Structure 1
Amino acid sequence: MVAQREVSAWRPSVPGVVEVFHAHFTEYAYPMHVHDAWTLLMVDAGAVRYDLDRHEHGTPDGTVSLLPPYVPHNGSPVTPYGFRKRVLYLDLSKLDETYIGPAVDTPELVDPVLRQRVEQLHTALAHPGDELEAESRLTLIGERLRHHLRPATRSGPGFGPRSSPGSGPIRDGRDADHPLAHQLRELLDERLLQGVTLQEAAALVHAHPAHLVRAFSGAYGIPPHQYLMSRRVERARRLLLEGRPPGEVAAETGFYDQSHLNRHFKRLVGVAPGRYRDSARWRSRPSPR
């Protein structure tokens, strides 16, 4: 079977929607990574298995999966035929960080009405001029998601909540159990573009380098370098959807050069940056936010 990697991505002019991402993959598997937005996922063909907070999950027929921001996850096809999926990345204005914990507990939502509304939203987002319809449908989707996730009684597995998008994380109960890992995470977020060496990080948080790596990986389920690269790739996606050239994006998102961006971007997204940018075509208009 010939490997399939087909993608279409764009950023619509609808507040709250960071990105629309449609893809068909066969043999491709996502490594552990994080997003800074909510991932609202529907699998239209095939099935995906993924790990979230060290628990295995899947995408049964008819479900909608909601993966919270800042919580590492991966993904791989269940069969040789792969999977076809549609994803909406939603910012925290539509679903705030208090819902991260409940989403970790129950990421698969069996709700035909919700799935139908998400289908309708995808249709509206594909047609310029239907922004009012898309906003209306997104509002109803947000209301239904909050209903599913009530009550929000905890703040998630160490990766939520944050005071504001792009700011450092607020210490929560789980982070309090891993203060060293939390300090390194804050440092990585602060040095997202310029980076930091392991020796420098160890000196700043007063820990042995090996202990620091083990603490971070044990607390968050992802090694420090992988966390940093996935955050950089998230920034690169936003710039590419504005039509920026990959070489320029690499320089503005902390990568050594375009080749460095290509390697990590393809590993985490499934296709090269240029192909990802070109998939947006006329739909790459920036949001008015």
Structure 2
Amino acid sequence: MEPSIDKAKAEAVKEKAKFTLVQELGGIELLDASYQKQNFSRHSHEGYTVGVIETGAQKFFRTGSNHLAPQNSIILVNADEVHNGSSATDNGWSYRAMYPLPQQFSSINQELGLPSSGAPYFPEAVVYDKSMADMLRTTFNTLKESDNRLLRESMVYATMVKLMARHSKHKGETQTQALAQPQLTLVKQFLDDHPAADISLEELARLAGLSPFYLIKQFQRAFGLPPHAYQIQSRVRLAKKLILSGHKLLDVALECGFHDQSHLNRHFKRTMGVTPGLYAKEYNFVQA
């Protein structure tokens, strides 16, 4: 009996995720995680994913193909870009990441007076750049350990500027926007604004003035997910906000349109890597 308990404890240690919100640039989410069996379903984030693989290797889908990110490589996922993730080794992987929002990159461009004030696009899913990886690690350590506001802000600004300069392209509009027709954008906006709405495919098709079949096909082509899966992502995003506002998990589930708390738990963990309860418990607000 005891050996099995010890084994269970050992397995639990390998599945850890600690979220932190730092106040720089209006608030940036950080993650320090290690996983062995976690298998992220296809999902997207409002912010970019900028992460450094610390141990092991991760395999993931992004931009229509699969990628492998080994130790010391940098993972880059654009905002709202569909991706997934799982271990590429038997021993799992660990990484540290930040999730800056598009407007935070844009604000830096504007402050620097750069020709393009739009959010950047990172064409490569995995990059090998030792100096950039070291700088990201230094920034993560500074945000974790230092309460010097000037130092913290300086590191965040310098890191994001260097990341854009070395690995991004600026576009007047993103690839998703270029593909999307006005009718599809209308459906996306509805799902963003009303994630808890109990709406049918037929009703969405009428809203867009398209046939249901054509809507599913073109929506997935434009945004990487079919409408029902995109709605789940919108509900998870709303759940995060409600959890951080102190709402009870059962209330969160119902307010977000999930059938019950277990339904919320399942989709939240497949997107965030932790259950809503652990997310609420482990999330720390770091005051500058």
Q: Which amino acid aligns with 1:175?
A: A
Distance 2:72 2:205 in 1: 47
Distance 1:184 1:265 in 2: 23
Distance 2:26 2:166 in 1: 19
When structure 1 is superposed on structure 2, of 244-253 and 133-142 the one drifting more is 244-253
Q: Which residue of 1 aligns with 2:218?
A: 215
Aligned length: 268
Offset of residue 243 of structure 1: 4.7
Runs (5+) with no aligned partner, structure 2: 1-6, 107-116
Q: Which amino acid aligns with 1:123?
A: N
Q: Which residue of 1 aligns with 2:126?
A: 108
Q: More helix per residue: 1 or 2?
A: 2
Offset of residue 194 of structure 1: 2.6
Whether the aligned pair in 2 keeps the contact of 1:99 and 1:149 (CA below 8 Å) is no
Give me the CA root mean square deviation.
2.5
Q: Which residue of 2 aligns with 1:188?
A: 191
SS in 1 for 2:24: coil
1:1-289 map, 5 Å? 2=11, 4-96=14-106, 98-100=118-120, 102-103=121-122, 105-127=123-145, 129-149=147-167, 151-153=169-171, 155-158=173-176, 172-176=177-181, 179-280=182-283, 283-284=284-285
Offset of residue 70 of structure 1: 1.0
CA displacement, residues 157-176 of structure 1 (integer Å, 9 cap, x when unaligned): 31xxxxxxxxxxxxx32224
| TM-score where L is the length of structure 1 | 0.82
Distance 1:236 1:198, change over 3 A: same
Whether the aligned pair in 2 keeps the contact of 1:43 and 1:85 (CA below 8 Å) is yes
Rg larger in 1 or in 2?
Answer: 2
SS in 1 for 2:266: helix
Percent identity for Structure 1 against Structure 2: 26
Runs (5+) with no aligned partner, structure 1: 159-171
Distance 2:152 2:238 in 1: 24
Q: Which amino acid aligns with 2:144?
A: A
Distance 1:93 1:235 in 2: 19
Distance 1:150 1:276, change over 3 A: closer
Whether the aligned pair in 1 keeps the contact of 2:47 and 2:102 (CA below 8 Å) is yes
Distance 1:232 1:201, change over 3 A: same
Distance 2:103 2:210 in 1: 37
Distance 1:78 1:119, change over 3 A: same
